Each structure stands twice: as structure tokens, then as C-alpha cells.
Copies of this chain bind each other. A is one copy, B any other.
Amino acid sequence: MKAADKAKHRTDMISSALRSAILERVLMPGMKLPEDSLGERFGVSRTLIRQSLERLAAEGLVELRRNKGAMVAKPSLEEARDLFELRTQIEDLVISRVIKNMSPALLAELEGHLAKEVAAEHASEPISIRLATEFHILLAKLSGSPVLLRYVEEIGYRCGLTLSLYARPHSTDCGIQEHRQIIEALSKGDADAARKLMRHHLTAVADRALFTTEEGGPLLYLDALEPYAKKVRDGGA
């Protein structure tokens, strides 16, 4: 078996599935996540579910309370602001590093992703948000720093969660345009412009998002998880 890390462990799949479900608003903030029910759904025991939940808790996507169980995290507006501010600063660092590594291959990757975003422009909103987040993650990957990548991932996911909580619809339309501009600036090697654009991009997203505070929304139940669970049961990625 030379395929190195071919089959990631089931815990990874489950975490990913849950993460996607959370970011795509299938699991809404505040929902309880009992180990038993989840285990049953995913066809595994509580052990693996617990590991996954713990991992997600470390990422800040779920809250894990003493003997009370896990629930999808419900970040406060204050935390959200802190997160977005930190994000702009962290992504500044990403830009600086990406500029240093700039190459045609790298540019191609970025444009490939942008194409995906365009293709999904009229898909459902949660999916747009996910793709937009992945753009930032791709940038971080191209920065060449594993740690930086991890941080951008985490912050990106949490911001995504926040957006799903506080943002109104149609907040992503102009996002694609802004991504395109950033890629252009990068391709020209213009770090300052790229940084500025990125900063503008992020604060724009934050400003569009972080003022509506309407509560509630329909709490979907675990049944909506079914498609995600099925993929894992069948061994899919």
C-alpha cells in the first residue's frame, strides 16, 4: 500500500461532513448534537463522533459543555467582529507570502478556483459562501506556511458560520468580482494593491453582514443531515 495517506480515518470524514453541514446551514447554530443520534446516523459508535465533535470544538464550530453535550456554536456579534478584524490582519500576511511565491502554476490554480465560483454563482447561497471561503483557504495554502493555513482555515470556517448567522442573502454577489481583482493584483506582483483589495473585500463582507441581528429562523432537525451521513457510511470523501 504505497498510497501514503490514502484513506483518511473515519473521524476525518465525519468531521468534514459535520463541518460542511454546519457551514451550509443544515445544522443551525444552537442545535444540539447528541453523540448517540449522530453515531446512529453515521453508522459508527459514539467514540468517533466524540472525537469529531472535539475536533470541531477546537476549531470553534461547536461548543462542548461539561455534561450537557455538544451544540453548534453560536458566536456573539462581539466575537464575530473580533474574528473579522483578526482575519483581515492574518490575510494580510497571506498576501505577502503568496506574492513571494508567485508563479504561473500558482496563478492557474487561483483562476481555476475562480472559475468554480463563477460556475456556482447561481447555486444555493450556502454553497457560494463555502466556495468563497475556500478561495481564501486556497490562498493560504499557496502561502506555503502550514500553520498559517490552519489559522486561515479555522478563522474562515468560523467567519462562515457567523455569516450564516447574521448575514442577509445576496451578500456574496460582489464577492466574486472582488476575488477576481485580487487575483489580478497578485498576478501583477502588486502586493500593496492586493492587500488593499483584500482588506476592502473583508471589511466589506463584514460590514454587509454584521449589523443585522434578527434572531431565530427555523431550526432544522438532524434529519437534514442524512445526505452527509450517507456519504460517510458509503465511504465517500
Q: A residues bordering B, Cβ < 8 Å?
A: 5, 51, 54-55, 58, 60, 66, 79, 82-83, 86, 89, 93, 144-148, 151, 155
Q: Are B55 and A146 in contact (CB under 8 A)?
A: no
Q: Are A82 and B155 in contact (CB under 8 A)?
A: no
Output the nearest chain B residue to A148 by Cβ-Cβ distance: B86
The 8 Å CB contact of A51, one of B54, B79, B83, B145, is: B54
The 8 Å CB contact of A93, one of B58, B89, B148, is: B89
Q: A93 to B148: give the CA distance in the assembly, Å.
A: 14
Output the nearest chain B residue to A47 by Cβ-Cβ distance: B47
Q: A84 to B115: give the CA distance in the assembly, Å.
A: 35
Q: Can you sample 8 A-B contacts with CB below 8 Å?
A: A54-B54, A54-B55, A55-B58, A58-B58, A79-B146, A82-B144, A86-B148, A151-B151
In the assembled complex, which residues on chain B have CB atoms less than 8 Å from the CB atom of A145?
82, 86
In the assembled complex, which residues on chain B have CB atoms less than 8 Å from the CB atom of A55?
54, 58
